[in-house]
Chains A and B, each alone.
Chain A
Amino acid sequence: MVKDFERTYLKFYKEIYQFAFSLSLSAEDSSDLSQEAFIRLLKEYNKGVTIENPRAWLYKVILNLWRNEHNKSKKQKTKNLHINTPSTDHNTPERNFLKIEKRDLIFDCMNQLSPIERDIILLYHDGFSYAEIAELLDMRTTSVGTTLSRSIKKLTTKLKAKHHELFD
């Protein structure tokens, strides 16, 4: 059981951390969310529960944890600008600065979408099928395509209109 968990942990930790980071833009919050998600997974394994799709299960836990966290404190999450940057730094400080600025702009634009629209885009980007997205977000599969199409259009329009100089 522990071996299974360890395999799952090593396989998905980075991806789960990444997803948590795209929601929170905070290394500390991402660590906490990821750790909590895996603790819950381990508890399920210890109870003898078989989880067929641990990846989707972990994403769902992260989404729920993030929503609860976000609802508790409505204050704007401070963005940690001193996030892990690539250690093998082929980037100059100027490039890093531009990357951070771009990231913050995209994060702002995404937060202007509704939570469903933002979540659907992130899950789509991470390679989930429409059926998986529908299950993760508790929506009908037939609605996913419509919502996704609308969300992508909305986001790209916002980004191009406001910050086209960064995205040419």
Chain B
Amino acid sequence: MNCLTREETQKYIDNELSADMHNCISNHIKSCDICKGLHSEVLKDVKQLHKYLQVFQVDTESIPPVENIINAQKTSVFTTPVFIKSIAAIILILVTLSILIPYFDKPDRITESEWIVNNLLNDNDPNKQWNDNQILITITNSSDELVLSFALDNSDKINK
């Protein structure tokens, strides 16, 4: 058998080899000074390692009551981050829509009823205007609200 590598020695020490291989190595170590030396070195490192890592030993005062875990586990679905984020997103969408919706419903022209009412308020008879071939001028502001309306007769006189 060839001399051992460090890895093989490690596996041997940790009993991670097949029974046959383990026996083979045991016999080899007995007869080979180099492998015997390597075995001692690796074994010493392993013992040192366990000794070093004992510094992380901490005496926990006591084990916290298991009820802490049981109660912590009973979190309502309503307090989960996903649920809260979903609700926040829905609220944001609703607020945005409530701000924007009034701007969606804009008439792009004066409605017929508005025109008729305006004429009546100004003592104009829409039917007479129609018969007299008058031209109706309407002026709206940037919000499409009727500001002014007047009629032009055939002689281009402005009758307000």
Q: Are A153 and B6 also in contact (CB < 8 A) when A14-B63, A87-B59, A99-B55 are?
A: yes
How many chain B residues touch A (Cβ–Cβ < 8 Å)?
A: 31
- Interface residue A112 (Cβ < 8 Å from any Cβ of B): no
Query: Which of A22, A38, A85, A152 meets B49, CB within 8 Å?
Result: A152
Which stretch, A58-66, A70-78, A143-151, touches the partner chain B? A143-151
CB distance from A121 to the nearest CB of B (A): 7
B1 contact set on A, CB distance < 8 A: none
Which A residue's beta carbon lies closest to that of B55? A103
Q: Is the CB of A85 within 8 A of B73?
A: no
What string of 1s and 0s marks CB contacts (under 8 Å) between B41-68 and chain A? Answer: 0100110111011011111110110101
Q: Are A149 and B7 also in contact (CB < 8 A) when A35-B68, A129-B16 are?
A: yes
In the docked arrangement, what's the CA distance between A130 and B9, Å?
14
In the docked arrangement, what's the CA distance between A64 and B2, Å?
41
Q: Is the CB of B66 within 8 A of A149?
A: no
In the docked arrangement, what's the CA distance between A31 and B53, Å?
20
- Interface residue A161 (Cβ < 8 Å from any Cβ of B): no
B137 contact set on A, CB distance < 8 A: none
Given contacts A13-B60, A84-B60, 6 further A-B contacts (CB under 8 A): A5-B66, A18-B60, A46-B73, A125-B49, A149-B10, A155-B52
- Name 15 A/B residue pairs within 8 A (Cβ), A-sorted: A9-B66, A13-B64, A31-B64, A35-B68, A83-B58, A84-B60, A87-B59, A125-B50, A129-B16, A130-B11, A145-B7, A149-B9, A152-B49, A153-B6, A159-B52
Residues of B within 8 A of A (CB): 6-11, 14, 16, 42, 45-46, 48-50, 52-53, 55-61, 63-64, 66, 68-70, 72-73
Residues of A within 8 A of B (CB): 2, 5-6, 9-10, 13-14, 17-18, 21-22, 25, 27, 30-31, 35, 38-39, 42-43, 46, 83-87, 99, 102-103, 106-107, 121-122, 124-125, 129-130, 145-146, 148-149, 152-153, 155-156, 159, 167
